[in-house]
Each structure stands twice: as C-alpha cells, then as structure tokens.
Structure 1
C-alpha cells in the first residue's frame, strides 16, 4: 500500500479532512496501532493483578504511557495529509516504547516487536525493513550490556533477531504476492468491465437496428415469455416496455369481426412452443380500436434446430393489401380528428362563457343555441365519417359478456399462476349485451390485467358477473392488491396518471388503460365504478345497459 510511495517519500493527494475516517489507508494505520495498544493494555492489567510493584519501575511506566499516547495520537492524526515517511514514525516510536517496556520488566515482552516488524514489512521496502531490524538489534544489544552478558541472554537475543528476520521476510513476500494478486484482479476487472461495455454497446446497436424496422420482431422463449421485441411489435400488440407475459392487450381473431383465437393457438403461443409457420394471416384488434391484418412467420435461431433460445416471431401489417377499405378508413379517421378538434375547442369555450355571471340572460340563451348546434354538428360528423352499415356491424352485436370475461380470464391465467395469484371466477350468470363486443373485450382485458399486475404473490383476484338492476349487466373485478389512496382515486382516469405507490414499487404501466376503458364504456352508455382502500385492494365494476334502446337513452352516454 505504501511501499513505492515510501521509497519516494511522496505524500498522497489531499482529500476532504471530514472524510479521512473512511479512508482505507487511515483505517489500516488505526488497526495496526490499536492491536498493539490493546495487547499492551491487557499486559498492564495482568501486571496490575499479579505484580503491581512493577508499575514503580520508571522504564515500564514510561513505556506504557508512551504507547497509550501514541495510540491516541494515531486516532487523531488526519493520515490522508501525511506521507509514507510520516506514517513510518509511528511504528518506529512503538519500537522504542516496547524497548522501554522490556527494560523495565520481563525481556519476553520485547516479542511485541514481531507485530511492528510485520507492520513495516507489509508496507515498506526491504531497505527500511533492514534498517528497522538494525534499530531493534541496537536496542537489544544495549539492553544486554545494561543487564549483563550471559549465555542465556545472548541466546535469547539471537532467537529474537532470527524470529524477527523470518517474520519480516515472510510478511514482505506475502505482501508482494497480495499486491500482485490485487493488480491482477484489478486488470481482470478492467478487462471484464470493458467487455461488458462492448456487449452493452452491441446490444444497444442491435436494439436500435431492430427498432428501425417497420415489421414487428420478437424472440418468443419457452415458458410464456416474450424475451426481446422491437417497437413495431410493441405497438401492434399494445405492449409496454417491461411486458413479457402472453397475452397482450391486443386480441387476435381468425377473421375481421370473427371469433377470437384461443390463447393456445395465438401466434405468440405457437412461437413459444417452437412451431414453424410462414405468412399466416390473423386479424388483430388493437387497443386503439382499429383492425389490422398481420402476416406472421417464425424463424429458427441457430443451426436449423429449435433450441432453448426459442424462435424468432416476425409480424407484418398487411391490412392495406387485404382490406380494400383500409385507406379510406384512415382518411376518415384523419378527417374526423381534424374536424373534431376545433369543434371541441369551440364547445369548451362556450361552456366557460355560460358559467360566467356577467353575461345577460339573452346572451346566455344565444350561447345555449350555439352549444346545441355544435353538439348536433359533432354527431353529424360522426355519422358522416362512418361507412354505411359499419356502425351497426361493429357496435351492435348480441353477445354474452360472461363469455368475453371467461376468455379474458383464460388468457391471463398463466400470468396469475406465474405470480402466485389465485383467481376466483363466478361467471355462471347469463349477461346478454347488444354492444361493441371487440371494444368491450379490451376493457375487460385491461381491468383484469390491472388487477393481476397490482396484486402481490399470494394475493387473490375475483371476477364476478351479475345483473345489478333490470336492463343492466355488470362485471366486477376485485383484488387484494396495493390499492389506491383517497387523494389519487379521483385522478385514475386522467391520461398518463399513475399513483406514487405504483411508481415507487416499479410496477410497469403507462397510465392510459383506465382512461381508454372509461371512454369505451361511456360510449356504450355504461359506467365504471371504482372503490379502493390503500393497502387493502381495489374493486372495479363495469356496468352496461343490456339493450340498444337502454344504451341510447342512458344519461351516461357520450358522443363517440
């Protein structure tokens, strides 16, 4: 740690004095000195119990005081400001203090020099170690002349010096090896960090390349995971960045406005099983309410054999080539968006004007006429931009809401099982509806997936179908999850809103699903009721009018 610096007597760079206690160099100095100080204190306690008269010997008392003072000073000195030569003073002073202890008591106590020789040998050069041994030899030789030369004292001195020499050599060799090992490990660590950086950069480049493609690409691994996917795939299947489990919020169908594909036969499920297929067309009803025709293919990753890496799933949007009305639908959506925006702004400002108290009654009546005309214009725009028969075909379908809920539960059952979440399903009651079955499937998927997502392992999600009132059907989803606080509950339908608890726990999501679901339900003349207690769970009820007549007369209905 200090060997090279000791040879050059170069001080380490200055650091913040308030943090020198956390410096490894300072801690090392403290440890060596505290070991010596603790050992001497224990010896002093033994002397006090067995031969207290030894404290009257000036050399023993002075040596004891000297070591205690050095220990206290060592703890107080800011070693980050002291060079290696300054640090060397501490063990040298300790050597002199131990010499005083040995002169004033038993000569055996000088074997404490072993600790100090080990200290110096670990961090300093061979020249300094030899000089230290010479200093100890001089002190020992002086003690021999003062005590008197005898055969026993000479033998003890020789044994002491040989022992110290061996300890010094062993500690120096071990220290050199330790430093070499640390340098080797540091070099290997740097190489590994460089390799990891290159792998990370390569992964980022590959990701950018995949995201630049206009086709959806995903690696479907075994065990129900979408392991890697690009932006196009995420967009088509309505996945967020962390989504891995099948199913997705976009539902596959055999044909446009046909029957949904069973979970086990979806393109993703087949790819996860390693099935190989080429240009198979499925229809995808997206979270945006649009139909897309996809051409799906799988490719083997590797040498032609389906291995544990799974297969590559490739999907292309071929709607325009299959649906001759796709371009016209896109133009109608663009026209609808461009016409609705200014009209919505006009109606919004009319509402603000009508709330003012400083306008006359006549002006208020005139504004009311304008508002009614604007609302009627909105409905006319909606009717004009929809193909004849399209609204009836796609939004007035007779179906059983319980069937949709059962299909959704079946799709999310693997996700619940993987998360250790129990599903309690009560969908025996017939729940007849005349509404937009495809859009309501999205609502049910979103509510059930949210319930599973916010429940911790060991929790439960309950799905129940019932008829709360004549002419109404309802689906209630209850979970034992993290819940929603009273302050957050009124904001859950706001775009991009997510609770603080969800963000703190790292639960993935975009904050868009509930808002979209409420808009769909309101368009069907229904409502979404949400009850929740923080830490206790959430209950979401989707209530819908069962017939077209009750839907059109519902006060909850808003313009599409």
Structure 2
C-alpha cells in the first residue's frame, strides 16, 4: 500500500511538472488558437453554407486540425526536441491546404498561424521550407481547379503576404531573443554585484561586531540605522531594536539622578550635537553599573557634505572603578567553571540512575558527585558573591516620579506610533527599595503597553493605594490583549503570545520574567489581567516605605 501511495505521489508530482512546463503551454497556446479559429469559421460555414461539408477535403482538413490539437495536448513535449515540435505546424499547414482545396479560398489565410509559429521559433531555412510547402499546396490547387488570372493574383498576394508576415515575425523574435539574452546577462551581473555587496556588508558587519567599542549610526528621527553588538549590549537593546529609549537607563553619576530622555546620548546625537568622551553611567538589565564614555562624530561623505552622525560608546568601568573590573572577572570565571561542572554532575546523575552499574562503580561515582557538589559550593562562595555592598537596595524615593520619568522617555515613541498617553499620578507612592531596578521594571511595563497598544490605542498610567498598605502603579492599554491560553505562560522565559508572533511585533519574551523576579526580590507583586482584543492591565504593587521600615 505504501508503495502504491508513493507511486501515486510521484505520478502527481510528474503531472504538476508537466502542466507547469512553460514550453508545453506555449505549444498548446499556438495550436489551440488555430484550432479555435478553425472551429469558429466552420461553425459559421455550417450556418451560412452547409453544403461545403460535402467536400471531402474540407471535412478532412477540419478533422485533421482537431486530431492534431488533441494529440498536442497529450504528448509530453518537455521530453522531445524542437524538431519533433515542428511536426505540428507542418501538419497544420497540410490541414489548411485541404480546407483551401475544399472550396473555401478565404480559409487559406489561416496559414498565417503556422507561418508565425515557425518564424518565431525556428531558423530561416525552416521558414523557407514551410513557405515552399504552402506554395506547392496552392499550385496543386490551381492545377486542379484551373488557372485563371484572378486565382493567380490571389496566390501571389497570399504568398507575398505570408512571406512578409514570416519575415516580420522572425525579425521580431530574433530581437526578442537578443533582448532576453541581454537581460539575462545584465541580471547575472546584477546578481553578482548584489552578492558582492551582500558579502561586503556581511564582512563589515563582522568587523564592527568584533569591536569592543559600541558604535551606531543615528538618524535624525532617533532610528539606529547601523549598530554593533557592543552597542546593543551596553544599552540592553534587543537585536532588532532600533528606537530610543533603551532598556539600560542613563544616569549622570553612579546612583545619581537619571538623565532626561531628551538629554540622553542617543537623543543628543539625533539632534546632531557633537561631543567627545562625555561620561555617563548605565544601569543594565543585569543590575550592574557601567561607566561609559560617549562621543558623537560627523560621518563625512565627501564633497563637503555629511552622511549622518556616529555615536560611539566605550565601556570604561574597569578604569574608573577597579573593583567593578574585578567583579566582572569573577563573574566570568564563575560562569566558565560552572558550565563544565554542570555537565559532569549531570552525566554522573544519569549513570547513578542506571541499574547495570556495579556497586564499586556506584561508590566511585558517588565520590565524584560529592566532590562536584563541594566544588560548586566553593564557586558560589568564592566567586559568586560580589565584593561590593548592595547599597542600591535601600533608597527612599517616590515611585510616581520614576513613572513620570519613564513616561517622558516613551512619549516620542508613543507619538510616533499614534498611541495616546493618559497619566494620573497625583498620589505620592513612597518606597524604600532599589530604585534603579524598579526603574527597569517600570520602563519594561510602559514600553510593552505602548508597543502592544498599537496605532490609535491608549495607555493609561495611574497611582493607587490599595487597602493592604501597599503602593501600586496600574498600567492599562487598549491593545491586542492576551488570550486565556497564553496568560498563564507570560512570565516564562522567551515566551511570546501567538497573536504577537502572527503580527510580527518585535520582542524577546524575557522582559516580564525579569521584571517579575525584580519585583518579588523587592517584596512586591506583579499582577496581569487581560482580554484578547480588549487590552491588558498590569498592577505593580510594592510595600510602602513605612511598611518596609516596620519589617
């Protein structure tokens, strides 16, 4: 049965290739045009002069055209050469000759179809041969019916006309083929040039991605036209992200005040401001501070004009804060040691689960497992603990101020996307927590709301004091919403809703999971309710400053 199914599948595939062959379609087109014209003329003759069907040659000619047409539709022409196809116009020429001999001289002009066919696809000798066959057919007819001056003139006019049509068609076909060859050559050259440009672009991309310094060409609308991996890493941008604001927040100093969105490095580069080695601090998604020197330079395009500006970011944290450099080295060593150790312990666990392991081998594996676990603890204790104090987690601030600063940064993006922002932050939301990490959470929540509200939507941000003594920030959008099936999974790493994927909305699916962990570390809650097609409401609730102090 499977063999039969495979054979049927192969036959269906062969049929598809056969009916999709452009050469076959061209042959059918020429033959069907002639056949349909002959049949329509025959139908007219049947109405106006049915006695002509009494002529055996007329009936034989019409029947021959129909037979040739049926055969042309059945033959797999893609397997045959051009000489085999030439049989069709020759048979058509003979059939038209029979129609002509049947007493219907006007039908002789049907010879224009095989003449045009041969002239379009074959050489001059083939065209001369076909015209000779037509001349022979007309001469035989003259000898059969008798030569008269009128008949002789008709034959001469017919042959001259067909010759003229053939020459014109052949010249036109030759030019068409020449143009086609020229276009193919040009297309090949363009394809080669495009491939070279693509390869050069890929080489340039690998080159700039190999740099430790972050670089980006900034358009005057804030779009990052070209940027390397170091730039995205420093500003915590997604790979496909191209708009300000970034997920890494800029500060004037470590643990200082955030820089307003219109004074950030990207915003100043957008306005075309030029500066060199200005120091800013970035607080990244990993909770680490980075000192960055930023510069903006004009990209010269020649002729005295410029081609935009280049924003350059250099991580100088290790130079300004040696302890930060040591912490980064510690994290790198810890990561490099954990990977092989995890693999070792994982395979030891798999071996211990097997029933065919001898008692002596099992005891040896248990020794390896205990030693590996001890090494894991040593890595945690010796390399996993940062040497700096977590003094960022005890700041007193107003969560409403953080929300206002975040909204200020997302206002240009909302305006560009056609999203309306409504702000109700009249109440003070006092907190004693990690203001820098919570700024990341608020940025992520407001950024998501603007992104998923889409054009014409509305994002509302309001402060709230729940009855349990917490302070809360409620962010509501009128966007695409989340389905009941997707809602339980939204905090999972790299999870994206089906509707977001279908609409091509950019994102990595990491932001909500990171935000939830940060909120839980601060003793708070992150609740999300949503209805598909109606929008989403996110409530960020945290213990107030007084509650935090009482604890």
- What TM-score comes out, normalization by structure 1 length? 0.84
Match of 2:513 among 481, 499, 515: 515
Alignment of 1:368-517 (within 5 A): 385=385, 390-391=389-390, 393-517=391-515
Query: For the structure 1 residues 74 and 480, does the alpha-carbon distance in structure 2 shift closer, same or farther, using more than 3 Å as the test?
Result: farther
Question: Which residue number corresponds to residue 102 of structure 2?
Answer: 104
Q: Is the 8 A contact 2:301 2:307 kept in 1?
A: no
Q: Is the 8 A contact 2:299 2:306 kept in 1?
A: no
- What TM-score comes out, normalization by structure 2 length? 0.85
Alignment of 1:307-386 (within 5 A): 309-327=307-325, 329-330=327-328, 385=385
Q: Is the 8 A contact 2:276 2:295 kept in 1?
A: yes
Q: Which moved more, 1:483-492 or 1:31-40?
A: 483-492
Query: For the structure 1 residues 40 and 193, does the alpha-carbon distance in structure 2 shift closer, same or farther, using more than 3 Å as the test?
Result: same
Aligned-residue offset at 1:154? 0.4
Aligned-residue offset at 1:410? 1.8
Specify the SS of the correspondent of 2:453: coil
Specify the SS of the correspondent of 2:307: coil
Match of 1:31 among 29, 32, 54: 29
Question: Which residue number corresponds to residue 65 of structure 1?
Answer: 63
The gaps in structure 1 that reach 5 residues or longer are 1-14, 347-376, 554-560
Aligned-residue offset at 1:18? 4.2
Alignment of 1:218-237 (within 5 A): 218-237=216-235
Query: For the structure 1 residues 513 and 306, does the alpha-carbon distance in structure 2 shift closer, same or farther, using more than 3 Å as the test?
Result: farther
Specify the SS of the correspondent of 2:275: coil
Specify the SS of the correspondent of 1:233: helix
Q: Which moved more, 1:543-552 or 1:107-116?
A: 543-552
Question: Which residue number corresponds to residue 209 of structure 1?
Answer: 207
C-alpha distance after superposition, 1:302-341 (max 9, x if no partner):
1589956311111111112222432454477679989999
The 2-side partners of 1:479 and 1:69 are apart by: 71
Aligned-residue offset at 1:58? 2.0
Aligned-residue offset at 1:481? 3.0
The 2-side partners of 1:182 and 1:265 are apart by: 57
Residue 144, structure 1, aligned to residue 142, structure 2: yes
The 2-side partners of 1:462 and 1:38 are apart by: 69
Residue 524, structure 1, aligned to residue 522, structure 2: yes
Q: Is the 8 A contact 1:300 1:306 kept in 2?
A: no
Specify the SS of the correspondent of 1:325: helix
Specify the SS of the correspondent of 1:457: coil
Query: For the structure 1 residues 491 and 83, does the alpha-carbon distance in structure 2 shift closer, same or farther, using more than 3 Å as the test?
Result: same
The 1-side partners of 2:338 and 2:171 are apart by: 84
Question: Which residue number corresponds to residue 90 of structure 2?
Answer: 92
Q: Is the 8 A contact 2:127 2:166 kept in 1?
A: yes
The 2-side partners of 1:338 and 1:98 are apart by: 86
Match of 1:543 among 530, 541, 544: 541
Question: Which residue number corresponds to residue 120 of structure 1?
Answer: 118
The 2-side partners of 1:207 and 1:395 are apart by: 39
Query: For the structure 1 residues 145 and 329, does the alpha-carbon distance in structure 2 shift closer, same or farther, using more than 3 Å as the test?
Result: same
The 2-side partners of 1:259 and 1:173 are apart by: 79
Aligned-residue offset at 1:470? 4.4
Question: Which residue number corresponds to residue 172 of structure 1?
Answer: 170
